[in-house]
Structure 1
Amino acid sequence: MPDTPATPRRRGTVRTQELLSVTIDIAARDGYAGLSIEALARRAGVGKHTVYRRWPSKSALIFDALSHVWTTDLDYRDTGNVRADLREQFLRSTAALSEPPLGPLYRAVIAEAQADPDLRAELHQRFLATVEQRTLERTTRAQRTGELAADADLTFPTEVLCGALYYRYLLSNRPVGTAEVDALIEMFLAAYGTRS
């Protein structure tokens, strides 16, 4: 029996994934500045209209490409132990940021965002705010279970908790590993943890 032809929707999904993979390859090699809709279309062997139908701008394209390789790594696993969950999440994120394709690509977007307010706003909305929100949700659940002080407003502490690792990774040449993650979580728990 002959294979059933792929539906247009299926072909479109596959093509989108292919274009995102090519985007990651180009950006990892040439940086954000070297990425263009034209370069993507040429490298992927498609017309520019095929790309523009999916993404109206280069920034929309690059953020979808980042999501393609990283979004699931922003999710917390809830084991019922906030220390273990923060540690596992931060180590996973640190590993992702330390290796291609995500690390170089994310650094390139951060660098470009310094001179592009719209790109910076989109970076915050689609990634940094997501990291902060998911961490706040996890720490808030820990408040409800009695692991963290119930009367503490954890909004700013959570921002600091997340930001410390990103700062160290993006703006210094100091290591970000198990020891650093453990020390950061210990500081947070010393300030907001409860004794059972």
Structure 2
Amino acid sequence: MSTSTDPGPRGGPVLQDSVTQAITSAFFEELAAVGYGRLSMEAVARRAGTGKAAIYRRWPSKEAMTVDLVVQVSVRAADTPDTGTLRGDVLAFLTATDAALRHPLVSRILPDLLSAGAYHPNIAAALREEIGTSRRRKVADILGRAVGRGELPADADLELGLDFMAGPLYWSTTIRRAPADPGRLERLADKIIAALAA
């Protein structure tokens, strides 16, 4: 069994990759099944087939584990390639984000975490600052490249564009539960670009 390069706390044991992966999978499955309010370290440990101590060696609390794992997954999910065109970049971002929002676990976890954020300031801060800021930075890169290529005017309202890239998609996919439709994403990409270029 391989071991992680992460030694854990100074003087502590080396943390095993396979155990961390098992805990991570168990965490998301348990969170989707019961919600944050009923989530417990004991249940995650049972589902992962490990002891509770293995979790506490990695995270000091349920809240810390939630923030760390959700941020890791969400930031990775926002990665999109540089396609060489604004439309290609926007469509790639919308497609990746739409797929992430439709994932069976994400579609159950995200609304619950947004609700939990009203009562848990650290979760709210992670959603707003870690996830929101990281995603906006990636979108800002897309729009900045478009300005550099001359596809958008230098005075384009990029701040408003950051909202355009996420708001309509989140509403239609997560709130309205619109069916998956590549054509809808292409139309949305065209509308976003038209608004930015206006």
* Displacement of 1:92: 1.8
Does residue 140 in structure 1 map to residue 141 in structure 2? no
Number of residue pairs matched by the alignment: 190
Percent of aligned positions that are identical: 31
Which of 110, 114, 121 is the matching residue for 1:106? 110
* Aligned twin of 1:23: 27
Name whichever of 125-134 and 40-49 sits farther off: 40-49
Q: Which amino acid letter does the alignment assign opposite residue 105 of structure 1? A: I
Q: Which runs of 5+ in 2 are unaligned?
A: 6-13
TM-score normalised according to structure 1 size: 0.82
Task: Give 1:161 shift.
Answer: 2.4
Q: Residue 8 of structure 1: CA displacement?
A: 6.4
1:168 aligns with 2:182: no
**How many angstroms does 1:121 deviate by?**
1.3
Q: Are 1:33 and 1:112, in contact at CA under 8 Å, matched by a contact in 2?
A: yes
**Displacement of 1:68:** 5.6
The residue that corresponds to 1:38 in the other structure is 42
SS of residue paired to 2:98:
helix
For the 8 Å contact 2:161–2:196, the answer to whether it is kept is: no
Structure 2 contact 74–131 (Cα < 8 Å) conserved: no
Structure 1 counterpart of 2:105, which letter? P
Give 1:96 deviation, angstroms: 1.9
Q: Any conservation in 2 of the 1:82–1:142 contact (CA below 8 Å)?
A: yes
Preserved CA contact (<8 Å) 1:20 1:64:
no
Hey, what's the Cα distance between the residues in 1 that align with 2:89 and 2:2?
A: 41
What do residues 11-46 of structure 1 show as CA deviations (whole Å, max 9, x unaligned)?
A: 522211110011111112222222122221233343
Give the corresponding residue for 1:116: 120
Q: 34-43 or 134-143: which moved more?
A: 34-43
Choose from 140, 162, 165 the match for 1:158.
162
Q: How far is 1:188 from its partner? A: 2.4
AA at the equivalent of 1:172: R
Which amino acid in structure 1 is aligned with residue 44 of structure 2? Answer: L
Distance 1:122 1:12, change over 3 A: same
Query: Per the alignment, do residues 165 and 8 of structure 1 end up closer, same or farther by CA in structure 2, a change over 3 Å counting?
Result: closer
- 2:9 corresponds in structure 1 to none
Q: Which residue of 2 aligns with 1:178?
A: 182
Per the TM alignment, residue 67 of structure 1 is displaced from its structure 2 partner at its CA by 4.9
- Post-superposition shift, 1:6? 3.9
TM-score by length of 2: 0.81
Tell me if structure 2 keeps the 8 A contact 1:32–1:112: yes
- 1:70: Cα distance to partner? 4.6
